[in-house]
Structure 1
Amino acid sequence: MPLDVDHQFHLQERRLAQHAAKGLSACVGMPAAQYFTDRIPVSGVSRRFAAREGLDVLTHDVLVLEAASQEVRSEPCLALTLLFEGEGEGVILGDADGPALGVAYRPMTWYASFSTRALGARSAAPAGSRYRLVELRVSHDFLARLGRLDDVMVLDARHPRHCMSRPGVWVGAAPVTPMLARVGEQLHAAARAEQVDDLTLDARALDFLALSMDLIVPREAARADGLDGRRRRRVQEAATLMRAELAHPWTIAALARRIGLGEKTLKQGFREVYGVGVIGYLQDQRLWRARALMTEQGVSVIEAALQVGYANPSHFARLYRRAFGVSPSRAIRQGGEPGHGA
């Protein structure tokens, strides 16, 4: 369903009840107002919650009314972002430590950025683009209290999710796993609620942090038995093929032949990289795409089902209700507009 445009931008900030500070604490990384402000042509809502000392939760659902570019300043932190919708480019500006580094924004992508020094950055967004995302900003002190700071300090170009890096900054990216997508949507919904439940928001934020850290620093078992780089790339290629043709009647055997892996290796690889089996991954991607078609583009239930490969609308509706807890028709009625509650 199209986003309602009221040509107004709303930034709302507060601390969660669990936060030890008496007032709103200083932002981690950079002020929320640097993302989208009333000085640039956007409409929608951004919310920032100070969840813990050194942990911020940010959610954005905005529409860019005119092509925009802005520069921001970020202090050292770990930023974890799940971009549901959005396009454009982000650039870390060049300085004495190295040249500029750019990354394209892609929907349903997870990004991680870790910095050990202050950085300048610039983002560019085309007119008409909608940005719907959740982000955690985590301080070095918070990571140290969790015992995870050393894990991120050693990130380099050899990491399987490495996207770009130079002294003082590392950026990684990966397609969103079905589990991370679910938790991200739950976090986004909790933050958008008219009456935010602080306990639920805090719990979903910690879930999102834990899943993100698993993507950055795999558990020891995964390291010991993991895929080598070549086979991991083949598994990711298989996922890309399925996402590009969701309506295709994919089978594990056909997919394995396309990418040059054995069926057993393909199935094991999907479990390791995406946390779900091949067919489970395909089903999740189909349902998420159908959800976007219905709630953001106004496509009918039957047409959405057909576009993602389900010829039987009743079967599609059962799978959809099982995944999202509501029927497809109710999802259409609820729509996808940004929240405006306090």
Structure 2
Amino acid sequence: MALTITKIHDLFDQLTTLVDGHTEQHSWEQHLSIPSHIGTGKVIRTHIRPDMEIMLTDVTFEQDMKVHISEACQLFELSYCIQGDIYCEWDGKKSYTEGQNGTVLFLEDVVVYEEKKAGIRNQLLEIRFTPEALLHYAGDAFEKQQMEKWLRHHRGNIDRFPDSPALQRCVSDMIHCKHQGSLKRLYMEGKALEFIALFGESDSYGTVGGNMDLKRDDITKLKQAHELAQTHFEQPLSIRELAKRVEINEFKLKKGFRELYGMTIFELVRQKRMEKALWYMEVEHLNVAETAVSVGYSNASNFTTNFRKQYGCNPGEYLKRIRQMEVERNKL
């Protein structure tokens, strides 16, 4: 199966044709019901304006859905996968997305192979817009330049970005919106802009980019450093040791790493520690002090500070939410 996207709003329309589905018009929205031979569920597209739309997908396919999508226009997309299993390939690159993950892509003139597995519920929020729609919010020439650097950082890629309770709340608000008609359109646009702002905050907007000349060999070494930093996040390697292992000088390691990944090595280590911390609290049911030690913090207060920076709340508050959710599930 193949789709060709020449403007932002083509995806929904071509998907409707591809699956031969039934659509209903609700003011600024179109609802696509998936035919039973394809699967179950629906896709809702909210048309915000000519350069922006929001798509909410909640579909389970009968068979693996395999499609080649030709992105023939500039597309900047922020998505959040509530649950699902999505595999993509493009230009020799690969991306795998599963539940509770946010991704950002900026693609043009590229064919993306996308595969969604049968029997798995795919629940996904997508905010699709043109780069011009983002640049519209630049207050002056400097801000526009910063936004353009930000866009270039993600160009040609499908990248993950850090999750947070604030992002999760924003997604939940959009999924469970009770407004109707033009009021809903206004509400959804406001939430989409909030989501973009939260993404920018988590993505270190304003610090991404630079003019360092990175050769292919430098990039290979920086990628090796990225893998090592992730592998040793509980007992982090020093900058000196990391530079020695990948055979690159310390200055190029620090500056090049930030330019390539939009974050420092320390920020990556902190992010991986916090992701592991969630696992210890949710799956292993460790308390705050035990979790702090398990992810390499000798000082629980430092752990709490970094957790709050990453997720917008203290670990103790997060634990309370988990326990409350477990209580509510047990009542069902």
Give me the whole-angstrom Cα distance separating, in 2, the residues matched to 1:275 and 1:140.
19
Aligned residues: 273
Deviations 1:110-164 (A, max 9, x none): 45363559x795523376x78676533235986898999xxx9xxxxxx9978xx
Aligned residue among 297, 302, 310 for 2:297 = 310
Please state which structure has a larger fraction of its residues in helix: 2
Give me the whole-angstrom Cα distance separating, in 2, the residues matched to 1:46 and 1:330.
34
Aligned residue among 227, 244, 251 for 1:264 = 251
Residues 326, 135 of structure 1: alpha-carbon distance in 2 compared, 3 angstrom cutoff:
same
Aligned residue among 282, 287, 296 for 1:301 = 287
Q: Quick one: which amino acid aligns to residue 329 of structure 1?
A: G
Q: Quick one: which amino acid aligns to residue 96 of structure 2?
A: Y
- Residue in 1 aligned with 2:107? 114
Contact 1:286 1:308 in 2 (8 A): yes
Give me the whole-angstrom Cα distance separating, in 2, the residues matched to 1:235 and 1:115.
26
- Residue in 1 aligned with 2:11? none
Equivalent positions of 1:160-309 (< 5 A) are 172-174=157-159, 176=161, 181=163, 186-193=166-173, 198=188, 200-207=190-197, 222=210, 224-295=211-282, 297=283, 299-302=285-288, 303-309=290-296
Contact 1:57 1:136 in 2 (8 A): yes
Q: Quick one: which amino acid aligns to residue 269 of structure 1?
A: G
Residues 285, 209 of structure 1: alpha-carbon distance in 2 compared, 3 angstrom cutoff:
closer
- Residue in 1 aligned with 2:314? 327
Farther-moved stretch of structure 1 (129-138 vs 248-257): 129-138
Contact 1:88 1:123 in 2 (8 A): yes
Residues 317, 275 of structure 1: alpha-carbon distance in 2 compared, 3 angstrom cutoff:
same
Q: Does 1:55 align with 2:45?
A: no
Q: Any stretches of 5+ residues in structure 2 without a counterpart?
A: 1-25, 139-143, 179-186, 326-332
Computed over aligned residues only, the root mean square deviation of the Cα atoms, in angstroms, reads 5.1
Q: Does 1:135 align with 2:126?
A: yes
Contact 1:83 1:131 in 2 (8 A): no
Residues 293, 253 of structure 1: alpha-carbon distance in 2 compared, 3 angstrom cutoff:
same
Q: Does 1:24 align with 2:28?
A: yes
- Residue in 2 aligned with 1:80? 77
Give me the whole-angstrom Cα distance separating, in 2, the residues matched to 1:101 and 1:251.
32
Q: Quick one: which amino acid aligns to residue 231 of structure 1?
A: D
**Structure with greater Cα Rg:** 2
Residues 209, 276 of structure 1: alpha-carbon distance in 2 compared, 3 angstrom cutoff:
closer
Residues 110, 269 of structure 1: alpha-carbon distance in 2 compared, 3 angstrom cutoff:
farther
Contact 2:86 2:114 in 1 (8 A): no
Instruction: Describe the SS at the equivalent of 1:225.
Output: coil
Residue 261 of structure 1 deviates from its aligned partner by: 1.4
Contact 1:79 1:135 in 2 (8 A): no
Q: Looking at both structures, which has the greater relative contact order when contacts are Cα pairs under 8 Å and sequence separation is at least 6?
A: 1
Q: Does 1:69 align with 2:64?
A: yes
Instruction: Describe the SS at the equivalent of 2:242.
Output: helix
Aligned residue among 104, 119, 124 for 2:116 = 124
Q: Quick one: which amino acid aligns to residue 28 of structure 2?
A: L
Residues 145, 251 of structure 1: alpha-carbon distance in 2 compared, 3 angstrom cutoff:
closer
Residues 240, 133 of structure 1: alpha-carbon distance in 2 compared, 3 angstrom cutoff:
farther
Give the alignment's TM-score, normalised by structure 1.
Answer: 0.57
Contact 2:77 2:126 in 1 (8 A): yes
Identity percentage of aligned residues: 17
Residue 105 of structure 1 deviates from its aligned partner by: 0.9
